[in-house]
Structure 1
Amino acid sequence: MGRKGSGKKSKKSSALNNHNEINELMDKLLLISTLPQETDVSKLLENHKDMTVIIETIKKLQKKVVNEDKNRTSGRTCPAIIDRFTNWFKENGAELEGCDIREIENYGLGFITNTKIPESSLVISVPKKLMLTVDAAKKTPLKQLIEKDYLLGNMPNVTLAVFLLYEKYKSESFWKPYIDILPNTYNTVLYFTVDELLELKGSPTLEKALCKNKSIIRQFAYFYKLFNTSEDSVSQIMRKRFSFEDYCWAVSSVMTRQNKVPSEDGKDAINALIPLWDICNHMNGTITTDYNPDLKRCECLALKTYQPGEQFFIFYGARTNADLFLHNGFVYEENVHDGYWIKLGISKSDPLREQRKELLKKFSLEPTGSFFLRKGSDPVDDVLLRFINIFNMNQEQLKYWLESNESSVFQCLNINFEKKCWSFLQARLKLLLGTYKTTIEEDLKLLQDEQLSPNRKLAIRMRLTEKMILKNGIDYVDRMMQ
């Protein structure tokens, strides 16, 4: 008898110790993640490594104290899950015309057409009542926290992530068939190990990925403390199961799927998760999805004519591969909207800095900024060319153009000056290409290695698309110099 009682006490004591240790680690995590943002990538990386060590310890401890999901599904591609989801959206007024939900290699779930679908035909319609929105969150007990907490009240994407988790944790949720069909994990940077992130070394995308991870880690620590120190009904549900893995899952679900729909009063656009529609995968094209205010539903039209057996795609919008990689967890090699942002600036030690600033202002340009190098046959736009011209002008040229009424700064300039400008851009692009630790050829070879993790391959594909744009830009400048 005594031994049994001693055992129970020991378990309670162990659980309490785990909770106390987690709380201490959360305090440390919150402190590190709220330090001023580093501008040096190597320091950002060290900061990320420090946070990762703490996170890994927290994850191990949480497995001992966080309640497991006893209703976890076997996977979104399970026929029973798809059938339940299909019955649910049909019973609630959503429509899917001419397509079936299928598992598609390299895509996960998607739509395969079962009939010919003419261009501009209505294929998907989803009534607003099926959508998870910020407005819907405010109709639940979560409203109290949204009104009280600054973060939830001012960051709708964060609110949507917490709302999704709240519905997942509830014993019963109207959205359960939808939540069950969401991926169990994602390929967003939140799921990358340190080594996988290091594949982006030399890429400007690494800094963005590290900043995003730091932000999400900070949010996690913040909400953990909020749920464990608040006595409202939502916090009582959340603190029993709230874990880092689950928060990454919820944030990734929102990052990869959120869209905007009109608020109930029609005055604002609010964040929303749109079941069924968000199964569509991406291709080049035009936006063919809109909200019908009369029928209060999201409608999706075919962006082209589809034949039976084809995958039905939609266009996510004009985004670079860096945007798709960071927010959607994939890279699209055929992306016609891809490009590379180049940071350029006038040095503070430049004796002609003030004249350059004045001329830049004339053309609505800042002395420091990011300029877009496009993918394709015409990579250098007028804005980039204008900045390079002003950057390389001598005092006499600056004086002339400051007094001129001409609308362009790259007309009437001599050949030698033009070569000087192209040489400057060529040198900058070669410098950027040289920051990567591998060549284009080496990346192409690495991608043939079947032993590489999916995330590592994705990072290599990401940096490869950037290198291809830089190489294309260098080739273009070479032709212009000739």
Structure 2
Amino acid sequence: MNAVLSWFATNGGKIDSASVGFTEFDGAGRGAVALRDIPEGHVLFKIPRSLILSTTTSALPRRVGLEQWRARGMHRGWAGLILCVMWETANGAASRWAPYLESLPSTFDTPMFWSEEDLEELRGTSVVEKLGKADAEKDFSEKVLPLVQSRPDIFPPETIPSFYTLEVYHIMGSRILSRSFDVERDEEEGEADVGNTSSGSAMDVDEPHAPEQEDGEGSSEDGEAEDEDEDDSIVVSMVPLADMLNARYECENAKLFYEKDSLGMMSTKPIKTGEQIWNTYGDLPNAELLRRYGHVDLVPLNESTDASTSDPSANPSALGNPGDVVEIRADLVLSVLDLPPQSEAKTKERIDWWLEQGGDDVLILDSDHTIPPALISLIRLLQLDDADWAKTVEKDKPPKPKLDAESMGVVIRVLERRLGEYPTTVDTDIALLLQTTNTELSLNKKHALAVRIGEKRILERTLEDARARVVAAAVAASSGNGKKRKAGEELEAERNTRTKTQRKR
């Protein structure tokens, strides 16, 4: 750590060493700690733009030749940045970032490196299908390795077995996934058009003096920038020192902000002496935390308890991540509806239209236990007869998410089918968690349990609510109060009430 701090200061970095220290935290690795009381808006350290490592600051793209760099597709995705980090590492002491690169981890607890046995523990979650391991290996074999082998003047053949292997590629990719920032391109770098890695890095950087801005604004969850102009101005970058801060659900007390010639890490609230200095990953669900960073957040689910002082070992069954979500794929909805084979072409037409209208092919269920309006709208769309389908297309608007009795029946079957994708029940998982000691379960299996339990809790609670609402609507419809309210109307009225009163996330 001393070598990194010395390198940082020698190259123009500034740190308030009286306020900020770095230490090892049990179970969380290295992090930053307040050495004295820090007020809100205090600059903890500043990183010169020259110390940021990206495809625009590394000399590699220009050594290769910008035209060839783009011709080989190195400006798309993360392949270019990963190769830059590999090359800078291979250069050893000759690299501007040598001390920093030497300090980065080479082992990870992310599922990318799990065994098949451990990955089986994540069955039913969305983690495995999002690992992107096959895509990464395709990029390596089709883009990175051919470039490396074609330029022995830049990549000496004797260095390839040590610095340019698939294993090293995965390690460097994991470093970037877990530690990078979305940084706005420096205007002076704009002429060197080496392209941009896609968004989806660990953290973003805010405009100066704007701590209220939301994290990740302008980027979609899957890492694709929503606006092409904005995409051209953002570069995924490694930011020394800033990437040493840990993060935890709703504990953020510092964030990185733009300044003219540097990036500044600034406190966003008062920090007391001895407290950890937390950055933010956007309060992600445990599935994403595990996939990207190799850890999960476990905080008390009782809102009256202070998350920052929780002890996960006290009562593991009472802990979880309030940001957990469950993903429901559109093809699962199709399988529940069990539409006749002869309607396959019509179904595809409707799905394509749904996507063109901005609908998602993955629907999100969160801890509010509210049925997503998009799920209801999609179900109604797929059940329209031909005449109503034609009217919907003419209106150029998906059906309203009116939750009638028929739609609710489909929703319940969708939730049941989704819950059935996990090989175990939530009660089984909790019992396993309570009956085993810390030494009887591997870290990977503990993390998998946390992800599974969080998702199943959401599904089971939402399913319970949905079934209760069906029963209540049926009772109301058959009661002798003279109102003769239809079950569907009862469901719709109840849904509207829940929407108005549901708590904010």
- Structure-2 change in CA distance of 1:437 and 1:126 (3 Å): same
- The reply to whether residue 419 of structure 1 matches residue 410 of structure 2 is no
Q: CA deviation at 1:260?
A: 2.0
Residue in 2 aligned with 1:264?
Answer: 186
- For residue 292 of structure 1, the aligned residue among 234, 237, 258 is 258
Matched AA of 1:292: Y
Asked if structure 2 preserves the Cα contact closer than 8 Å seen for 1:189 and 1:329, the reply is yes
Match for residue 441 of structure 1 among 411, 416, 427:
427
SS of the aligned residue for 1:323 comes to helix
User: Residue 423 of structure 1 aligns to a residue in which SS?
Assistant: helix
Cα offset, 1:225, TM superposition: 5.0
* CA–CA distance in structure 2, aligned partners of residues 164 and 226 of structure 1: 15
1:42-441 to structure 2, matched below 5 A, reads: 82-97=1-16, 98-137=19-58, 139-140=59-60, 143-144=63-64, 147-149=67-69, 150-151=71-72, 153-155=74-76, 157-172=78-93, 173-209=95-131, 212-222=132-142, 223-236=144-157, 238-242=159-163, 243-265=165-187, 268-285=233-250, 289-294=255-260, 296-317=261-282, 319-333=284-298, 335-345=321-331, 347=339, 349=341, 365=357, 369-374=361-366, 376-393=367-384, 409-410=400-401, 418-441=404-427
Secondary structure of 2:269's counterpart equals coil
Letter matched to residue 154 of structure 1: H
Which segments of 5 or more consecutive residues in structure 2 lack a partner in the other structure?
A: 191-232, 300-320, 473-505
- Are the equivalent residues in 1 in contact too, given 2:253–2:267 (CA < 8 A)? no
Q: Which amino acid in the other structure matches residue 427 of structure 2?
A: E
Question: Could you list the runs of 5+ residues in structure 1 that have no partner in the other structure?
Answer: 1-81, 412-416
1: CA distance, partners of 2:432 / 2:455: 16
Letter in 2 for 1:164: V
Equivalent position of 2:499 in the other structure: none
Residue 306 of structure 1 deviates from its aligned partner by: 1.8
Alpha carbons of structure 1 residues 395 and 163: separation in structure 2 relative to 1, 3 Å: closer
For 1:429 and 1:245, the matched residues in 2 are separated by 39
Q: Which moved more, 1:179-188 or 1:359-368?
A: 359-368
User: 2-side partners of 1:407 and 1:168: how far apart?
Assistant: 52
**SS of the counterpart of 2:127?**
helix
Deviation at 1:184, TM superposition (A): 2.4
- Cα distance in 2 between the residues matched to 1:404 and 1:271: 41
Give the 5 Å matches for 1:451-466.
451-466=440-455
Which position in structure 1 is the counterpart of 2:490? none
Letter in 1 for 2:101: I
Number of residue-to-residue matches in the alignment: 391
Task: Tell me how far 1:340 sits from its aligned partner.
Answer: 1.8
Contact 1:147–1:153, Cα closer than 8 Å, also in 2: no
Residues 1:398 and 1:437: Cα distance change in structure 2 (over 3 Å): same
Secondary structure at 1:160's aligned position in 2?
helix
Partner AA of 1:371 in structure 2: L
Do the aligned partners of residues 319 and 104 (structure 1) sit closer, same or farther apart at CA in structure 2, a change above 3 Å counting?
A: same
Retained in 2: the 8 A contact 1:287–1:317? no
CA-atom RMSD, angstroms?
3.5
Residue 474 of structure 2 is aligned to residue 480 of structure 1: no
Correspondence for 2:489: none
Structure 2 distance, partners of 1:368, 1:348, is 23
TM-score, normalising length: structure 1 = 0.70
Verify the 8 A CA contact 2:359 2:374 in the aligned structure 1.
no
1:289, CA displacement in angstroms?
3.5
Displacement of 1:261? 1.7
TM superposition shift of 1:83: 1.2
> For the residues of structure 1 that align with 2:105 and 2:351, how far apart are their CA atoms?
52
The structure that is helix-richer by fraction is 1
* Contact 2:36-2:273 within 8 A present in 1 as well: yes
Contact 1:359 1:398 in 2 (8 A): no
Contact 2:37 2:273 in 1 (8 A): yes
Aligned counterparts of 2:387 and 2:135: Cα–Cα separation in 1: 47
Using the TM superposition, give the Cα deviation of residue 313 of structure 1 relative to its aligned residue in structure 2, in angstroms. 0.8
- CA distance 1:183–1:106, shift in 2 (3 Å): same
- Contact 1:422/1:480 (8 A) holds in 2: no
- Alpha-carbon spacing, 1:90–1:336, altered in 2? closer, same or farther (3 Å): farther
Partner SS, residue 389 of structure 1 = helix
Task: Name the residue aligned to 2:228.
Answer: none
Cα distance change of structure 1 residues 403 and 248 upon mapping to structure 2, 3 Å threshold: closer
Q: Which residue is 2:204 aligned to?
A: none
Are 1:104 and 1:110, in contact at CA under 8 Å, matched by a contact in 2? yes
CA distance in 1, matches of 2:442, 2:185: 41
Q: In the alignment, what sits opposite 2:223?
A: none
What is the TM-score normalised by the length of structure 2?
Answer: 0.68
Q: Residue 89 of structure 1: CA displacement? A: 1.5
Rounded Cα–Cα distance in structure 1 between residues aligned with 2:396 and 2:151: 64
Distance 1:427 1:350, change over 3 A: farther
Give me the whole-angstrom Cα distance separating, in 2, the residues matched to 1:473 and 1:344: 18
